[in-house]
Amino acid sequence: MRKVPFITTTIFALSCFSASASLGENQLDKGKVTAGGKPVTLLGSGVATGDQAPNFKVVNADFTPVTLSQFEGQAVLISVVPSLDTGICSLQTKYFNEKVASNYPNIAMLTISTDLPFAQKRFCKQENVDKVQTLSDAVWRNFGEQYGLLIKDMGLLSRAVFILDKDHKVKYKQLISNLASEPNYQEVIDTLKTL
């Protein structure tokens, strides 16, 4: 048995704990999300439709930092999932990759989760996800903090979809009320058509 993965996992878990311990509760979306029929507490700032989207810092499959500002002048769809290793998150990511991304080539399509980049890379290879860019919030939890989506005591992001216009104003926000449900894809597509 190798010792390094355990140490890495332990350090990762401790960093998740310390990051979430210092965040305040998202008052904007308080009481709006449930898991297994019970409400969950979302940590971070929270954003509303019409807000200027906060910049964020995540990493790609190579642990290279990626920020929202890198998509300057481009509309952005952000699909947020708790973990790509779960059925609904997989369906959501594959839907945007297979049914949406090719119809809107000028819109940056991002999927953000707290999965480690290694797991995201493996998922994309196994599921042929090649049009949506998967990004990890595992390192700094900065996206979860800025958008108010970090689930307290779980270290996961709440399921959501955001559409930002070319000026990165939040044109559309869908916070899925039940973590076990898929987004309303038609609403997302209808909004994309207006960009």
- In this predicted structure, what is the pLDDT of residue 1? 40
Identify the weakest region by mean pLDDT among 13-22, 58-67, 135-144: 13-22
Residues with Cβ < 8 Å from 155, sequence gap 6 or more? Answer: 13, 16, 17, 20, 114
Give the residue-averaged pLDDT of 87-93: 97
With 70 as the cut, is the pLDDT of residue 140 above it? yes
Residue 2 has pLDDT above 80, yes or no: no
**How much is the average pLDDT of 73-82?**
98
Q: Please give the pLDDT value at position 101.
A: 97
pLDDT at 15 over 50: no
pLDDT given for residue 23 in this prediction: 85
- Residue positions annotated with a catalytic role: 89
- For residue 171, CA distances in Å to 3, 17, 29, 104, 190 come to 47, 32, 17, 16, 12
Q: Residue 125 above 90 pLDDT?
A: yes
Quote the pLDDT of residue 109. 98
pLDDT at residue number 22 = 73
Residue 21: pLDDT band (50, 70, 90) is: low
Q: What is the band of 61 on the pLDDT scale with cuts at 50, 70, 90?
A: very high
Between 87-95 and 117-127, two packed helices, what is the crossing angle to 10 degrees? 60
15 Cβ contact partners less than 8 Å away, ≥ 6 residues apart? none
pLDDT value of position 85: 92
Is the pLDDT reported for residue 13 higher than 80?
no
